[in-house]
């Protein structure tokens, strides 16, 4: 049994393991950073090329009835696969090989989707989407852990690396739009080609040895069960709980921000939402300086609490102050960056070397898995019961829920999280 969860000495033990496991990755840091930048850009290009407009494509081809189920299955995949694949990356196979295999396999699956979508086959379409997401969901955690491993003592460069994630998402949208594929099955071909390319590229990355390969084999450990011990560390458990709550608010925003803004009479909603991507770039650059100034605990609190401020802006917009909706969208960068990026950085600092991939996987499970699923279900129920798109003020009950969640999250964080010096 690991003794790394004794509160005072756990941070020291974890940090020593991190430093020891990264001693050999300090050669040519600029070259490594450029390799990781390409990896991060491609990872989110693949995701952005099809995920954002999948609902529109399904609607266009007469499959509107399964749109909600399709996105729910994506969340279920994020619950099932990251932990198991993370355990494989920690114990058996180097992370870059796992990453490469998953992207190549996922790319092949994408090529089967256009035919079944065009044929209106609900069941096979949903099955293929689910199988693809079983392959994709673990890759986000793998990319994070692989990046931290190769950055080594330069882990504070990670926020700058994440700039390329935002860039990949934006480039994917531009490419799909220029090709005229936004509502066509062409998005699956773009995703398939780029995913296979990324898979091949992953195999060329510096080798990341499984940190737990020398430990005694156990089937439960191989399935990721041992990583539950992470929750014995109070700070990790509190972070995961707050991640779950915050991602429910993210589900509200992702699902209903665009129709809300449209109902306010604002033109060119897509361009306004792009402001959120621009703000991500600005706030990402500030992350290292904010952490140095106020520490991770208070920086994470800012990220969590700003979700409440964002939805207060939306309520003010519903009451006739339309310009505050623009402010709410503009806060996207600080809401996302100060929470998602700093959470990943803290987990890398906290987790022992033999559990780094699994620890990052828990963040994906909380956000893209349970959080996304709960957010979709709760926001859908509130929307159906209260919103009349012809009446702006009817949106107020919907946006009040994530405000309450942000208050609860902030209280839990302030009282439960203990940052070691």
Nearest to residue 282, comparing CAs of 157, 140, 160?
160
Which segment of 108-117, 258-267, 385-394 scores lowest on mean pLDDT? 258-267
Tell me the per-residue pLDDT of 302-353, one tens digit each, with 9 for 90 and over. Answer: 989 999 999 999 999 999 888 999 999 889 888 887 888 888 888 888 777 7
Q: What is the pLDDT of residue 83?
A: 62
Q: Write down the mean pLDDT value for the chain.
A: 81
Alpha-carbon distance of 102 to 99, in angstroms, equals: 5
**Is residue 51 pLDDT above 90, yes or no?**
no
Tell me the per-residue pLDDT of 119-172, one tens digit each, with 9 for 90 and over. Answer: 999 999 999 999 999 999 889 888 888 888 888 778 788 888 888 988 888 888
Q: What's the DSSP call for residue 226? A: G
Q: What's the DSSP call for residue 267? A: S
Instruction: Read off the pLDDT band of 26 (50, 70, 90).
Output: very low
- Locate tokens 């859908």: which residue? 380
Question: What Rg do the C-alpha atoms of the chain give, in angstroms?
Answer: 21
Q: What is the pLDDT of residue 307?
A: 92
Phi-psi map region of 391: left, alpha, beta (phi>0 left; psi -120 to 50 alpha) = beta
**Is residue 240 pLDDT above 70, yes or no?**
yes
Nearest to residue 416, comparing CAs of 228, 243, 236, 249?
236
Alpha-carbon distance of 18 to 154, in angstroms, equals: 12
Q: How confident is the model over 194-213, as a mean pLDDT?
A: 83
Residues 6 or more apart in contact with residue 212 via CB below 8 angstroms: 90, 91, 221, 353, 354, 355
State how far Cα 102 lies from the chain centre.
Answer: 17
């Amino acid at each position: 049994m690991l003794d790394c969860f004794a509160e005072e000495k756990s941070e020291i033990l974890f940090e020593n393991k991190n430093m020891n496991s990264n001693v050999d990755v300090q050669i040519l840091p600029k070259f490594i950073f450029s390799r990781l930048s390409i990896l991060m850009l491609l990872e989110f290009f693949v995701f952005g090329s099809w995920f954002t407009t999948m609902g529109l494509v399904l609607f266009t081809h007469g499959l509107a009835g399964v749109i909600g189920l399709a996105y729910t299955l994506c969340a279920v995949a994020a619950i099932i696969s990251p932990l198991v694949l993370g355990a494989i990356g920690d114990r058996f196979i180097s992370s870059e090989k796992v990453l490469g295999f998953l992207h190549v396999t996922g790319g092949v699956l994408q090529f089967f989707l256009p035919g079944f979508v065009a044929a209106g086959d609900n069941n096979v379409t949903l099955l293929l989407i689910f199988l693809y997401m079983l392959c994709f969901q673990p890759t986000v955690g793998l990319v994070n852990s692989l990046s931290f491993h190769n950055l080594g003592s330069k882990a504070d460069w990670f926020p700058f690396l994440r700039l390329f994630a935002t860039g990949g998402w934006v480039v994917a949208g531009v490419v799909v739009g220029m090709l005229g594929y936004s509502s066509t099955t062409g998005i699956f071909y773009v995703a398939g080609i780029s995913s296979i390319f990324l898979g091949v590229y992953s195999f060329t990355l510096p080798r990341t040895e499984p940190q737990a390969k020398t430990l005694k084999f156990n089937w439960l450990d191989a399935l990721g069960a041992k990583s539950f011990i992470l929750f014995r560390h109070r700070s990790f458990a509190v972070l995961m709980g707050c991640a779950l709550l915050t991602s429910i608010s993210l589900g509200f925003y992702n699902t209903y921000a665009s129709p809300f803004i449209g109902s306010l009479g604002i033109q060119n909603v897509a361009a306004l939402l792009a402001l959120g991507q621009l703000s991500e770039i600005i706030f990402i650059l500030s992350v290292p300086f904010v952490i140095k100034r106020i520490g991770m605990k208070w920086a994470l609190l800012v990220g969590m609490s700003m979700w409440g401020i964002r939805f207060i802006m939306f309520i003010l917009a519903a009451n006739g102050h339309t310009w505050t909706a623009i402010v709410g969208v503009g806060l996207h960068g600080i809401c996302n960056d100060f929470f998602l990026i700093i959470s990943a950085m803290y987990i890398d600092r906290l987790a022992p070397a033999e559990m780094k991939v699994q620890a990052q996987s828990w963040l994906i499970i909380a956000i893209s898995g349970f959080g996304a699923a709960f957010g979709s279900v709760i926001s859908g129920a509130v929307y159906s019961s209260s919103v009349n798109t012809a009446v702006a003020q009817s949106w107020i009950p919907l946006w009040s829920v994530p405000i309450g969640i942000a208050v609860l999250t902030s209280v839990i964080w302030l009282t439960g999280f203990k940052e070691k010096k």
